[in-house]
Amino acid sequence: MNGWVVFVPEGTAEVHRVLRELEARGGRVHHVGSSDLMTERGIYDSFAEVLKFPGYFGRNWDAMVDCLDDLCGAVTGG
C-alpha cells in the first residue's frame, strides 16, 4: 500500500462517498480545516495535532516529511 495525502473540498456527497469507500478499504481519513493552512506554522501545527506527531517534531519541512514517512511506515507495516 502506498501512502497518499489528498486535499479535497468537504461537503459534497461525492466526496463523502469516496472517503467512506477509502475507509472501508482500510484507509485513514483525517480532517484539517483549510483556514489552519494559511501559514507555514499553521500547516505544521495542524498536521502535528491531527496526525499526532511526536513531541520532538521540529516544525520544518524536513521534519514534516520524516513524520509523514514514519506514519506511513507504521500504517503499512514498514
**4 — pLDDT class (breaks 50, 70, 90):** low
Mean pLDDT over 28-36 rounds to 85
> According to the model, what pLDDT value does residue 1 have?
43
Is residue 47 packed enough to be buried (19+ CB in 10 Å), middle (13-18) or exposed (0-12)? buried
Residue 18 in this model has a pLDDT that exceeds 70: yes
Number of H helices, E strands in the chain: 3, 0
List the grid coordinates of 54: 511526536
Identity of the amino acid at 27: G
Q: Find out whether 27 and 4 touch, Cβ atoms under 8 Å.
A: no
Percentage of the chain modeled with pLDDT above 70: 86
Region of poorest pLDDT, from 39-43, 52-56, 68-72: 68-72
